[in-house]
Amino acid sequence: MTQFEEQAWRLPRRARFSWLRPFLLVIMALVAILLQVYLPLFFQYLAYLEIPLLVTVYFSLMRRQPVVAVFYGAGIGLVQDSLSSNPLGMYGIVKTLVAYFAASVSQRFDVDNLTVRFLLGFFFFFFHQFFYWVLARALLGQALDFVAVQTLLFGLMNAAVAVPLFYLLDKL
């Protein structure tokens, strides 16, 4: 087993998120949603930057507690739903699933590794978009198109943003 694989599959002994106080969680979530609401006013292509998703993934990865992550993801998703034109629950369900899986994965991987962070950011963005598309078609009957190539490209963009964002959040 290589050094990377050893680092990647190393099991964490305890959660590293204990220092993160509850109010900071709320502030992070608010700032993430604010950026998603505000930045596309000036940079239209930044509407595809899912910062709330990245924050959810980060919290879930660092907290390593699926139950807490589920509620955190559900909360952020519901706030996102509130600011959208969709019925409440669409983003909530998707982000709940993302948070749960991220928290579950964090128990198997070394999430401090930059490559792992990049790959997880890319994977969870793709998963988030795909699952939202499935839910929109299945539950709401919306005829949305899923452009895989475009989603992959935006996944790369979000993954590229995730690495420095996670690093920044590490310093908080």
Partner 1 sequence: MEYLLSRYRNLAVLLVVIVAQLVLLAYQVKGNQEARLIRVWAVSGVMPLANLIEAVRGSTVGFLKNYLALLDVRSENQRLAKQVQKLALQNQYLKSELATADRARALGAFQTRTQSKTIAARIIGTGTGANSKVVFVDVGSSRGVTKGMAVITQDGIVGKVVASYPAASQIVLVTDPGFAAGVISQTNRVHGTLKGQGHSTCFIDHVQNEEKLVVGEWFYTSGDDRVFPKGLPVGQVRIARPGKFVQEIYLIPSGLQQGLEEVLIVIEGVHGSIPDNPETPQSLQLLPPPQPEPGADAGQPAGMRGSLTTDADRLAERYRKIGAAQGHVFGEGLPGSKPPDFNINPDAVAPALPKPASPPAAPKDPSLRR
Q: Which residues sit at the interface with partner 1, rule CB under 8 A?
A: 30, 33-34, 37-38, 66-67, 70-71, 74, 78-79, 82-83, 87-90, 92-93, 96-97, 100, 103-104, 139-140
> What are the start-end ranges of the E strands in the chain?
none
Please say which residue, 55 or 79, places its beta carbon nearer to partner 1: 79
Q: Are the C-beta atoms of residues 45 and 158 closer than 8 Å to each other?
A: no
In angstroms, give the least distance from the CB of 36 to partner 1: 10
d(CA 60, CA 72): 8
In angstroms, give the least distance from the CB of 9 to partner 1: 21
Q: Are the C-beta atoms of residues 128 and 95 closer than 8 Å to each other?
A: yes
In angstroms, give the least distance from the CB of 80 to partner 1: 8
In angstroms, give the least distance from the CB of 155 to partner 1: 24
Which among 130, 133, 127, 161 is positioned nearest to 46, based on CA atoms? 161
Please say which residue, 3 or 141, places its beta carbon nearer to partner 1: 141
Cα of 79 vs its chain's centroid, Å: 14
Please say which residue, 67 or 147, places its beta carbon nearer to partner 1: 67
Dihedral sign computed on CA atoms, order 65, 67, 73, 79: negative
Please say which residue, 4 or 38, places its beta carbon nearer to partner 1: 38
